[in-house]
Amino acid sequence: MDAELLEDVLPEAHLDNHFYRAVLDSLEEQFALIDDEGRIIFVNRSWQLFAQCNGLPADFDWLGHNYLAVCQAATEHGDADALAVASGLEAVLTGRLEHFHHEYPCHSPGEQRWFILRVVPVQHPGKPCFAISHQNITQRKLIEQAVEHSAQHDPLTGLANRRSFDDYLTKAWRRGKRAGSPLSLLMVDLDSFKPFNDGHGHLDGDRALVRVAAVLQRCARRDTDLAARYGGDEFVLVLRDTDTEGALQVAQAVIDGVAALALMSTDGSQVGASVGLVSRVPGRAIDCPDRQTLLRLADDALYQVKDAGGGSLVCA
């Protein structure tokens, strides 16, 4: 919109610096202008307020501070986002990029926050300058995280779902093959769950599954362990860098943990856990050339347990 048209729309607005400052101060985005060397020549009210929230005094004078130099200094501490911003900003200032944007986290002790930074040249015949804005995109990022979590987790138990398990097992197999480290897989099937579910109803059955899932999650205590719901009343545990001895301990902990829940059916039977276990070093076991075979071996071991009456474990 040109000046004459703006005057027609807002005849009472004198199109001076005070008016334009008022417009920029009304923005929620943090906004600044810098010159072609990175020096700040203007910041809006949102920029100043955000700085105050992060510990700077209210009367801090931004004018003359070099924004590019601040970003470049932050890269010395290994900040990947600062490196991306410094590189992108410098590319726009030197004309190698027409514009630049970058999403980055800016968490505080009390909340998670994300922003998107944008840098564009100001199209004006005077001295070259560039507009920088920081827009809060926290709500969008939280929604994206929730959608991603939903896509990767079982809605009832909160454990990883089948899709997430498949992805993780594939990555764990490849990693174990590169590192020459053992990978263990436990398949867990609940004993006497059907009479429990039929006798107490599906609501209590769901609650029982949630409690069982909590046992498995406690057994997958390392960040590199994965507990997942495989389907129905069947679960899996993936244990990276874990040999047979270590996996046997986890398997027994699962069996004992489920037994300790004391989930009794109306017919007097108790819900228990059967575990099929396999541990191999990917790429080095003749009987296990790939992850699909690892899964089959664990499943075969589980069936052996079930055929023997359940409540125990078999190691393939």
Do residues 119 and 182 both lie within one domain?
no
pTM of full prediction above 0.75 = no
Provide the pairing of β-strand 225-231 with 234-240: antiparallel
Do residues 161 and 130 both lie within one domain?
no
Residue 94 confidence (pLDDT): 93
User: Is residue 148, in this structure, part of any structural domain at all?
Assistant: no
Q: What is the CATH number of the domain that holds 223?
A: 3.30.70.270
Q: How far apart are the first and last CA of the chain?
A: 74
Do residues 220 and 188 both lie within one domain?
yes
Do residues 284 and 178 both lie within one domain?
yes
Provide the pairing of β-strand 183-191 with 272-280: antiparallel
Do residues 208 and 131 both lie within one domain?
no
User: Is residue 308, in this structure, part of any structural domain at all?
Assistant: yes
User: CA–CA separation, 75 vs 66, rounded Å?
Assistant: 15
Cα–Cα distance list, 63 to 33, 40, 120, 121 (Å): 10, 5, 19, 19
Do residues 137 and 181 both lie within one domain?
no
Count up the domains in the chain and report the number. Answer: 2
Do residues 171 and 66 both lie within one domain?
no
Residue 126 confidence (pLDDT): 77
Q: What is the CATH number of the domain that holds 40?
A: 3.30.450.20
Q: Which of 108, 142, 176 is the last residue of a domain?
A: 142
**Residue 25 structural domain:** 3-142
Do residues 82 and 24 both lie within one domain?
yes
Q: Which of 87, 121, 142 is the last residue of a domain?
A: 142
User: Is residue 147, in this structure, part of any structural domain at all?
Assistant: no
Which pair of structure tokens corresponds to residue 275?
């575990």
User: Is residue 173, in this structure, part of any structural domain at all?
Assistant: yes
Q: Which of 103, 123, 142 is the last residue of a domain?
A: 142
User: CA–CA separation, 143 vs 149, rounded Å?
Assistant: 10
Residue 116 confidence (pLDDT): 96
User: Is residue 247, in this structure, part of any structural domain at all?
Assistant: yes
User: Is residue 160, in this structure, part of any structural domain at all?
Assistant: yes
User: Is residue 233, in this structure, part of any structural domain at all?
Assistant: yes
pLDDT along the chain (316 residues), means of 10: 45 65 90 92 92 85 91 87 93 94 87 93 86 94 90 94 96 95 97 94 95 96 95 96 96 97 94 96 93 96 94 92
Residue 12 confidence (pLDDT): 53
Q: Could you tell me which of 15, 35, 11 has the C-alpha nearest to residue 23?
A: 15
User: CA–CA separation, 291 vs 287, rounded Å?
Assistant: 11
Q: Could you tell me which of 199, 235, 193 has the C-alpha nearest to residue 215?
A: 235
